Amino acid sequence: MEIEEVRDHMFLPLPGVPPILIARTEGVYLYDSSGARILDASGGPMAVTIGLGRREVAEAARKAVEEVSYVLPVFATEARIELTKRIKKRLPAELDEVYFCSGGSEANEAAVKFARQYHVLAGRESRFKILSRKLSYHGMTLLTLSMGDVKMRRRDFLPMLWKVPRVEAHYCYRCPYGKDYPGCDIDCALDLEKKILEEGPETVAAFIAEPIVASAGGGLVPPPEYFPIIRETCDKYDVLLIVDEVVTGFGRTGTNMGMDHFGVVPDIATFAKGASSAYAPLAGMAVRGSLTELFKEKEAEFQHLYTFSAHPLSCAVANEVQRILEAEGLIARAAEMGECLGRKLLELEELPMVGDIRGKGLLRSIEFVQDKGTKEPFPKSENLKMNIITTCLLKGVFFYPGYWEDDRGRGDHIMIAPPFIITEEQIDECVGVLRETLEELQAGYSAG
């Protein structure tokens, strides 16, 4: 197939990025139609964990289609039961009811609707508001866009979005309070109580946040005190705590779930990407059994059923992915390779445009600035992050863009989140290509 034909038949390819026809994938590599390979240093959108193109998964998919190609999600399938058991092993024991859908946005919608329905059943009908956090992303549907804070994704839809009050983010590099951790009072966490009181606690159903922020902020890791304060505040006002583990779930940050770093159990955890290592559309939420009890007591149905919820093919594929993750000890590997990646990225700190390097495990990010002292971002017209990404792509390594921008539309960071099977040599290749690219771009700026 010619590239022109690809362009004609793709709906809205990324402007400025030449469409590349990917013919095959294997391990950490994408192969184009000429056989040239690209190292996928972000696992697609921080999604691929066990590596690409694995035969065992293909075999599980074939078997699933032959055995049970489809059933309405009110029926059980063996793959769904097995998958539920495997997923529960990765979650805190309290989150013992698992619901499946197809993508992260759907999972977050499900969580919010569950929270609302729970309060209605509990006789608290006045609770309908969801609070979220600045610098977050929860999906592309109108409700999840309303909760999220990625300006470029929201801009054209603003009149259609709900008003969702947002608390300050734990963005320590640019602290919204102008303070430095550990000298601060974790004011960003205390902001939740302020917002709940402003809105009226009797109106607030839930607070949603990512354990470690992915592309909306670029690997923002909260201080250890953050989530314990959030949990206490939610408990004080009967507000459900929803954590969006769409990126962090199933090992990305070196632990089963992102929240494991903070010793706090949420009321609902949503998941997607890593659940199936992006082999099939599979997402969901895990809910505290103490909350679903109320539905059982009142014989109430959770009003959120999709044709493709718990699809037998997706469940079988995800079940095999989870089996591989466990059998090959890949979460421990994510922790080990994550340390390695973190160490090697720190070697780039000396470069003039590298402002901040952050993240955890295999969820890392670099923020670029034109002045390290003032942290002044590059002008928007430079389109720096996309320049970095396309230049690296032409050199055979793919990184994912981050979306933080200031009120002048400036802000550049990239995500580095490779599959857990990446080797140290492949990490060296990624970091080497990135260094070379940054040095070339810097030389261009220095030459004026």
Going by C-alpha positions, the residue among 448, 390, 421 that lies closest to residue 28 is 421
Q: Considering beta carbons, is residue 243 or 316 the nearer one to ligand PLP?
A: 243
Taking CB under 6 A as the rule, does residue 228 contact ligand PLP?
A: no
Min CB(144)–ligand PLP separation in Å: 7
Choose which of 247, 259, 265, 341 interacts with ligand PLP (CB under 6 A): 247
Min CB(246)–ligand PLP separation in Å: 4
267, 294 in Cβ contact below 8 A?
no
**# chain residues binding ligand PLP, by CB under 6 A:** 16
**Burial (Cβ within 10 Å: 0-12, 13-18, ≥19) of residue 17:** exposed
Q: Considering beta carbons, is residue 221 or 272 the nearer one to ligand PLP?
A: 272
Contacting range for ligand PLP; rule: CB under 6 A; set: 22-30, 69-77, 207-215, 378-386: 207-215
Q: How far apart are CA 65 and CA 255, in angstroms?
A: 32
Q: Is the dihedral of CA 406, 386, 251, 343 positive or negative?
A: negative
Q: Considering beta carbons, is residue 64 or 246 the nearer one to ligand PLP?
A: 246
Min CB(373)–ligand PLP separation in Å: 32
Q: How far apart are CA 426 and CA 254, in angstroms?
A: 18
Taking CB under 6 A as the rule, does residue 132 contact ligand PLP?
A: no
Taking CB under 6 A as the rule, does residue 149 contact ligand PLP?
A: no
Q: Considering beta carbons, is residue 103 or 342 the nearer one to ligand PLP?
A: 103
Contacting range for ligand PLP; rule: CB under 6 A; set: 88-96, 135-143, 306-314, 333-341: 135-143
Choose which of 45, 53, 165, 352 interacts with ligand PLP (CB under 6 A): 45
Q: How far apart are CA 143 and CA 4, in angstroms?
A: 36
**Burial (Cβ within 10 Å: 0-12, 13-18, ≥19) of residue 151:** middle
Taking CB under 6 A as the rule, does residue 105 contact ligand PLP?
A: yes
Q: Considering beta carbons, is residue 153 or 179 the nearer one to ligand PLP?
A: 153
Contacting range for ligand PLP; rule: CB under 6 A; set: 55-63, 209-217, 329-337, 352-360: 209-217
Subset of residues 254 to 293 that bind ligand PLP, contact rule: CB under 6 A: 272
Taking CB under 6 A as the rule, does residue 309 contact ligand PLP?
A: no
Q: Considering beta carbons, is residue 218 or 312 the nearer one to ligand PLP?
A: 218
DSSP 34-75: TS-EEEETTHHHHT--S-B--HHHHHHHHHHHHH-----TTS
| Chain position whose Cβ is nearest to ligand PLP | 104
Taking CB under 6 A as the rule, does residue 345 contact ligand PLP?
A: no
Q: Is the peptide bond before 182 cis (omega within 30 degrees of 0)?
A: yes
Contacting range for ligand PLP; rule: CB under 6 A; set: 55-63, 100-108, 330-338, 373-381: 100-108
Going by C-alpha positions, the residue among 261, 224, 229 that lies closest to residue 361 is 261
End-to-end CA distance of the chain: 41
Min CB(302)–ligand PLP separation in Å: 19
Q: How far apart are CA 307 and CA 298, in angstroms?
A: 25
Going by C-alpha positions, the residue among 121, 128, 224, 102 that lies closest to residue 172 is 224
Contacting range for ligand PLP; rule: CB under 6 A; set: 7-15, 99-107, 305-313, 363-371: 99-107
Q: How far apart are CA 177 and CA 191, in angstroms?
A: 11
Which residue type is seen at 5? E
Q: Considering beta carbons, is residue 104 or 355 the nearer one to ligand PLP?
A: 104
Taking CB under 6 A as the rule, does residue 317 contact ligand PLP?
A: no
Helix pair angle (330-346, 424-446), 10° resolution? 30
Choose which of 97, 168, 193, 210 interacts with ligand PLP (CB under 6 A): 210
Residue 303, CA distances (Å) to 91, 97, 113, 307, 395 in order: 24, 16, 8, 13, 49
Choose which of 27, 139, 284, 355 interacts with ligand PLP (CB under 6 A): 139
Residue 60, both tokens: 């599980």
Taking CB under 6 A as the rule, does residue 214 contact ligand PLP?
A: yes
Choose which of 54, 116, 133, 138 interacts with ligand PLP (CB under 6 A): 138
Taking CB under 6 A as the rule, does residue 104 contact ligand PLP?
A: yes
Q: Which residues bind ligand PLP (CB under 6 A)?
A: 45, 103-105, 108, 137-140, 210, 214-215, 244, 246-247, 272
